[in-house]
Amino acid sequence: MKKSIKNLLLSTAVAVMPFIGMSSSFAEGITNNHAYVVDNSGTLVRDGSKDCIRTGSWSEEHALFECGDAAAPEAMMKKDEAPAAGPQPPAIRSVLQTDAYFDFDKAILKPEGKAKLDEFVTKMKEHPEVDLLLVTGHTDRIGSTSYNMKLSQRRADAVKSYLEQQGVSSNRIETAAKGESEPVVSCDGVKGRSALIQCLAPNRRVNVETKVQREN
């Protein structure tokens, strides 16, 4: 009976012994959590089944990998390094785009241009996530830079007006004028004014495209 009491007192003394003189990071980790019984050298005390002996202060946040109570340090580091989950940008579910072409020095929509815009409006109705359209006017290089800038704006405004007539709200349409600054053909070797006007036709256009899409 005395021997049992002596052993109990010895175990208790070991459990509450101040953790001092530990130089290794492993020992420091044990010292910081006070969750396991250690001996004078800072070594973990294990029972007959080789399991670490926990103190009354043990909790999951103090668990040690060496005792089989926590994940490997490498795994914990990877977990800590993982980027925090946050708001994700809206998924782009559709790319809506069309062109409407104009006659030389005109800002009046051609019938074929109206037909393409009608198709575009139909697609918009299928994609309610489209919040804003960008309507950009362009011209060919014939004429002054300032005149072409104004002409490209008139063309953009003509397309915007037509889209509004088809039921697209004006606050969902933004216009821009690029003048002659973004040609799609150059026609550098073309001779004669009539031939040049015909060659430059693809530059006399208005682009209509999705600018902002929201998440459904």
Assigned domain for 206 exists: yes
Same domain, 120 and 59: no
Residue type, 101: Y
Regarding whether 132 and 175 lie in a shared domain, the answer is yes
- pLDDT confidence of residue 215: 61
Does residue 84 fall inside a structural domain? Answer: no
* Structural domain total, the chain: 2
What is the per-residue pLDDT for 126?
82
Using DSSP, state whether 159 is helix, strand or coil.
helix
Tell me which of 25, 43, 74 is where a domain ends.
Answer: 74
What is the C-alpha to C-alpha distance for residues 73 and 78, in angstroms, rounded to an integer? 9
Residues 105 and 44 occupy one common structural domain: no
Tokens of 32: 């910081």
Q: Which two tokens stand for residue 168?
A: 């697209």
Q: What is the per-residue pLDDT across 43-94, written as a single tens digit (0 to 9) for each?
A: 777 777 778 877 766 777 777 777 877 665 555 555 555 555 554 444 433 4
**Beta bridge mates, 134:** 174, 209
Q: Do residues 173 and 160 touch, judged by C-beta distance below 8 A?
A: yes
Q: Report yes or no: 36 and 53 within 8 Å, Cβ to Cβ.
A: yes
Long-range contacts (CB closer than 8 Å, 24 or more residues apart) made by 191-195:
none
- Does one domain contain both 112 and 203? yes
The reply to whether 48 and 127 lie within a common domain is no
**Domain presence at residue 85:** no
Q: Note whether 60 and 105 are same-domain residues.
A: no
Last residue of a domain, one of 43, 74, 105: 74
Q: At what angle do helices 145-165 and 111-126 cross, to 10 degrees?
A: 60
* Cβ contacts of 45 within 8 Å, gap of 6 or more: 14, 36, 37, 38, 39, 52, 53
CATH of the domain at 177: 3.30.1330.60
Higher-confidence residue of 3 and 172: namely 172
Q: Is the per-residue pLDDT at 2 higher than 70? A: no
Q: How far apart are the first and last CA of the chain?
A: 76
Tell me, yes or no, whether 110 and 193 share the same domain.
Answer: yes
Residue 81 lies in a domain: no
CA contacts within 13 A on the Cβ side of 169? 7
What domain range is 41 assigned to?
Answer: 2-74
Q: Which two tokens stand for residue 65?
A: 């990998």
User: Residue 82 falls within a domain, yes or no?
Assistant: no
The two tokens of residue 57 are 């202060």
Question: Is the Cβ–Cβ distance between 120 and 127 less than 8 Å?
Answer: no
Query: Which tokens hold the place of 43?
Result: 């070594």
179 lies in some domain: yes
Q: Determine, yes or no, domain membership for 154.
A: yes
Same domain assignment for residues 110 and 208: yes
For the chain, what is the mean pLDDT?
Answer: 76
User: Tokens at residue 161, please?
Assistant: 């007006």
Same domain, 45 and 123: no
Which pTM does this prediction carry? 0.56
- Is 60 domain-assigned? yes
- Quick: pLDDT tens for 86-145: 544 444 334 567 788 899 999 999 999 999 999 989 888 888 788 889 999 999 999 999
In the predicted structure, residue 201 carries a pLDDT above the cut 70: yes
Is 121 found in the same domain as 69? no
**In terms of domains, do 113 and 207 share one?**
yes
Residue type, 213: Q
Residue identified by tokens 């489209």 is 130
Cβ pair 135, 160 in contact under 8 A = yes
Same domain? 111 vs 32: no
